[in-house]
Structure 1
Amino acid sequence: MRRIPAVFAVLGLSALALVGCASAPGASAASCERPTTDSSAIGLIDVTGEFGDPTVTVEPPVYVDETVFADEIVGEGRAVTTRAQDVQFTTAILNGKTGETLVTAPSQVLPVSQWATQYEGIAKMLECATEGSRIVGAVPADDLGEQAATSLGVADGESAVFVIDLHTVYLAAADGVPQRMTDNSLPQVVLAPDGRPGIVVPDSDPPADLAVEVLKKGDGEEVTADSNVRVHYTGVTWAEREVFDSSWEKGASATFTLDGVVPGFAQALEGQTVGSQVLAVIPPELGYGDQASGSIPAGSTLVFVIDILGIDQTPTQ
């Protein structure tokens, strides 16, 4: 039995500050508006090919003073309403001066904020974009980090052309309908404004059997035994009342199949839906048993709060 892995370590985050129950941040999809552009640079970019396999040609040179973009295809899926959301896309990148194709490849699953560290232009192109969209844009060197601009061969005053086929937009935190707990003897959960959970463990003895409470009920895809599910989670031990693992603290969501986690964690998630938040109290025999694991003492009852952000459908390359 293994710990739940994080797929990508990003900048460390400050300690959790609990301020009571709150919703996850970010504008609603209805209030998120895509800007329009009349830049002539977009007319120099031609895109063909199936979604996820773009073929791009340009009439060089393509120069812009600021990032400009347009949606060639407008998707009908979830919108990017906060930079905390994970996204996965296929991108084609061309040198605007020469028209040379530099990259055509699927991306890793990363939060928009992580892309912004070197590709602020990509982050701007993704804001309020919807899953299933094809976005065509031009990005000046000023909207690229120094390392990115150097690797792409984009000098000061020059630009790069980007085409993004946005495959998947994940939730930043569970956004389902709040549910009333059926067992008030279990730990209580409070949320920070960004959706991070804090877990208040009672002074009583833990339950002998697996206990699962749905704190928020999402209306998304169902988690199955074969799902590659993406989550945020926080785990504490009942006895010590201390966090032993948290994707929130690591700054990145985690993805796994249910056969890659302890049995109680898998049982708590199977059959749940994307957008749900689940509280799971896992007895030792469904956790790490009588063996210690890292900072977890032998015989520990584990308490997890799990936000189901999405289910990976495309390779995370």
Structure 2
Amino acid sequence: MDATLLLDTARAAAAAQQYPAGALYVVGTPIGNLADISLRAIHVLELVDVVACEDTRMTQRLLQHLGLSKKLMAVHEHNENQAAEQVVQALQAGQRVAYVSDAGTPAVSDPGARLVHAVQAAGLRTLPIPGASAVVSLLSVAGDTAAQGFAFVGFLPPKAQARLAALKALQGSAQALVFFESPHRVEELARDLAAVDPERTLTVGRELTKQFEDVVRMPAAQWPAWLKEGQHARGEFAVVWHARPPEARDDDAALPAPVLACISALAAHHPVKEAARLVAELTGLPSKQLYQAALASRQRGDDATDPA
């Protein structure tokens, strides 16, 4: 699309909203496909006085694609505290400032959190302009029906011993866990996930939204071999470590058989939360542990009162 037409379209779509002066606009940008930028993000980038950014060269290319020319200010992990003071001063002078990272939503894995904190601490406004996110994009196609929510872990420790310890600590989570990894360390992550829980399901996203995007689902045991095929080890990775199915968790293993029978019978006829509360009151056992046992029973379709 012609840049002038694109800017006109963005104004028509987004200009009706209020864009207060003296505010920081945290703008999500594409993670690979330039078409993923929103019309509202384009309008904000046109409107602001300054664009603070993780890498001025990357942001300059994005702005040129949009037909924009803006004053740029570098705000990255090495200067974020000092640069935040300059942003605060610009906001106090009544300017609008946008912050963008190299790709995706700032302050999730990229820099930006310290900047946002400094602006808020100064009593100034921070406004989110939603955009692309590798985390949400991959979760939307993971199909993890056993997960009780999700947690974004990001990059695991680079050293093998610390990475294995982190994975073992996370292994029993009832949530879907999202990791990021670079092509330089992805084979080590694959090896460790296969060692820790080889049957655990993974959804692997490679080069999300880009021309050679891959989204594949497999047991962790298969991932190391998949990486060795073709060019699969190249590119940036996001990985969903699916939640362990309730029957695979150890939460109810230590519960006495009579308690398991009771929780199973109650879960067959009452909401899971209510069943766990009742048994917790009767036994004094942790309600969280009982909730997991009741949920596992419900999902298995067990009914301890049925002799069959």
With normalisation by structure 2, the TM-score equals 0.29
Please identify which structure carries the higher strand content: 1
Larger Rg: 2
The higher relative CO (CA closer than 8 Å, separation ≥ 6) is in: 1
What TM-score does the superposition give when structure 1 sets the normalisation length?
A: 0.29
Larger helix fraction of residues: 2
